[in-house]
Copies of this chain bind each other. A is one copy, B any other.
Amino acid sequence: MSYFRRLYQDSPVPMYIYDNDSYEFLEVNDAALRQYGYSREKFLSLTAFDLRPKEEIPTFLDANRHVPLSFNDFGIWKHIDRSGRIFHVHIYAHLTIFNGRKAKSVLAANIDDKVKADAEISQKTAEIKEILENLRAIINTTSDKIWSMDTQRRIITANESFWTWLDACPKSIPAIPCSEFLPADWNDYFDMAFSGKTFSVIWQDTLSPKPLFAELSFNPIRNEKQEVTGISCFSRDITERQLYLKMIEKQNAKLREISWFQSHQVRGPLSNIMGLVDTFNHDDAADPNNAKIIEYLKQEALKFDGVIRKISEEAQPNR
């Protein structure tokens, strides 16, 4: 056997030659016999159709119409072995004359592992992408601002509300420390979160012309060693709620004040009345001063009535 015939026989690349017209095999190397699971004798009794699942045969026949004289890349095909297992091969073929017969010489490299690995990677990537999209859908549908920062205080990731609020695009920001574009009074909160504390604060935007309150939550992000590698931050607009609370608190203080004031307002006129009663001359009922005292008492009682009417109006519920 010639050197190159032996090389063909021993090549790790599965190769075979089949008759151009009958598709009968004329030659096969050991790698091809291993790939398809046949003895040399058996293989040489088969045709090129026997290496393919039935549904592939029309395409195979079609490809056979245009096989050039030099090796041509025919791409990826499904082949079938003796046991019926279907696998992927990369086919190179050319038209040739073998032992005086018009034939096709084929290289059928098994790439099934690669195809399967690629498919698996594609599927896993698709799965991860889906999980990612689902998470994004969650954080991007809320009007809360949500973001995370690394220890250098640069944005790691943020939701759409955050970028809309900053009127910035994600690409323009990441390299810049947050202190340069987030409210300056948040830096203390960041310090506290980076020191490992989880906490919430109610923050008023003092630079805003309208009242604007946010509930800010800060949460340390830790690695497996429990070291703080970043922080996650949530900002929720609570202006309406906060204004309501402040209004109620203010009303409360006002009502306490009214109540306190009332109790003092009535003390004065009553003291006057009591004083007048004490100055009455009991020993001499005919004392002309007594008539004056009674007159003053009447006036004081009327004034007192006026005070109480005013208090009643102030204390009116649902004013």
- Chain A positions within 8 Å of B, measured between CB atoms, are 2-5, 7-8, 10-13, 70-71, 73, 92, 94, 96, 98, 105, 107, 109, 114, 121, 124-125, 128-129, 131-132, 134-139, 141-144, 146-148, 156-157, 198, 217, 219-221, 230, 232, 234, 236, 245, 248-249, 251-252, 255-260, 262-264, 266-267, 270, 273-274, 277-278, 280, 282, 285-288, 290-291, 294, 297-298, 301-302, 304-305, 308, 311-312, 314-317
> How many Å from the CB of A207 to the closest CB on chain B?
25
9 contacts between A and B (CB under 8 A): A10-B71, A134-B157, A138-B147, A255-B259, A258-B259, A259-B262, A266-B311, A267-B312, A277-B301
Residue in contact with A142 in the complex, picked from B136, B232, B273, B297, CB distance below 8 Å: B232
Given A3-B96, A125-B125, list of 11 further CB < 8 A pairs?
A7-B8, A10-B70, A10-B94, A132-B132, A132-B135, A135-B136, A251-B252, A256-B317, A263-B308, A263-B315, A266-B266
Contacts of A282 in B (CB 8 A): 291, 294
Q: Are A220 and B141 closer than 8 Å at their CB atoms?
A: yes
- Min distance, Cβ A306 to any Cβ of chain B, angstroms: 11
Query: Roughly how many angstroms separate A259 CA and B256 CA in the complex, as a whole number?
Result: 9
The CA of A231 and the CA of B302, in the complex, are separated in Å by: 67
B262 touches A12 (CB 8 A): no
- Looking across the interface, which residue of chain B has its beta carbon closest to that of A9? B4
The residue from B3, B232, B274 contacting A301, defined by CB atoms under 8 A apart: B274
A134 touches B156 (CB 8 A): yes
- Contact check, B317 vs A267: say whether CB atoms are below 8 A apart: no
Task: Determine the chain B residues whose CB is within 8 A of the CB of A294 once the complex forms.
Answer: 277, 280, 282, 290
Interface centre among A148, A266, A288 (most CB of B within 10 A): A266
Quick check: B94 and A232 within 8 Å, CB to CB?
no
Q: In the complex, how many angstroms separate the beta carbon of A307 from the nearest chain B beta carbon? A: 9
Measured CB to CB, the nearest residue on chain B to A293 is B294
Quote the shortest CB–CB distance from A235 to chain B (angstroms). Answer: 12
- Cβ of A305: which chain B residues have Cβ within 8 Å of it? 270, 274
Chain B: minimal CB distance from A194 (Å): 13
